[in-house]
Structure 1
Amino acid sequence: MVLYIRNHGTKQFIKGKPIRYGYKFSCGGTSTGYLAWIKAYQGAGSLLGYSVVVTYADLLPKDFPCEIYFVNLFTSIYLLKDLDQQNIRATGTIRSNRIMDCNIMKTDVLKKRPRGEFDFRSDESKRLLICTWNDNSVVTITSNFDAVQPGCGVSRFSQAQKKKIQVQQPRLILHYNIHRGRGGPIGRTRIFRFIGYR
């Protein structure tokens, strides 16, 4: 969200965000942190979710192996299957209401398990993987190329034991955190700055 106070037809309100009023932008960056594309939301009929990713995935070089990482706003099972057919590797967090008929452990059940517990399922072709992991909250993630094992241990603070403990983390979540974190320089450069009004 880019902060904008005055009235305009495409201005958005999103409850719970640090910047609640303004313009909504979708952007993609490279693994080195450079901005590759940016698209402003232009009201009803403009690209949202699935369409945004597919439109810009078509611009990727076909002979160069690419990996795309995205947040749950964009992720769906259909999107990952379509990207897999185009030989584009993709991983993204996914909302629990978008995993369709997958018999993965429910969020409420996994919350009651110890920290670091996870459950995963794959489709018949073994091309699509869905994994839920219990950290501070339950994270659901899906990928069309990555795997759960070998996992790694991550350090987390335990309120019960009052010390840092090692928690098991699936490999695809490790890769997601590494690559999604590369977009940080885009935000830090503050491409869009708030302009004061009299």
Structure 2
Amino acid sequence: MVDSGANVATRTLPLSGVHGGSSVVRLEAAAPAERINLRVRAEDVAALSAALGVDLPVKPKTSSSGNGRTALWIGPDEWLVFGDVRTGLVASAAKSGALHSATDVSHRNTAILVSGPGSAAAINTGCPQDLSLDAFPIGACSRTLFGKVEIVLLRTAEDAFRVEVWRSFSDYAFGLLSEGARDAAL
């Protein structure tokens, strides 16, 4: 007999309801997203791009967007692809017919949106990367360090960024960004 009164686990977002910032920086949790870590040989990039509906960028530090999906170049054969929840990224990749590895990391990662005129300064609190527009233009992305954690950083506008971080480190990253936001306002 099935117990219909059994407790059911409900997934919660790690930064649900959290907000922060300062007069020059806004911090907020990004909406839930579907994400895959994708490994593809150079000769199969076109097939995977077609199957996913977004061009996989082939130059370091670049990204592309299309059809509600975004692809970030992480390494010579590695991309982080994300889109709206339940867009079927793994299934789309499987339809390519090309040799690849697509790992669903939707529940491993979460994202923090950092915006405002002090956003780069707030991120530079824990990230040594040059975030000037000349060195890190709109659409630029990289896997880098933020304090003691690894992040994937995407510049989405002149003064806006998406910080992808493992959910287990999201409180730490949000806290350090909050400190940076306060410092940027000084």
**Which TM-score tier does this pair reach, normalised by the shorter chain?**
under 0.3
Larger Rg: 1
* Bigger relative contact order (CA 8 A; separation at least 6): 2
Query: Which structure has more strand as a fraction of its residues?
Result: 2
Provide TM-score, normalisation by structure 2: 0.27
Provide TM-score, normalisation by structure 1: 0.26
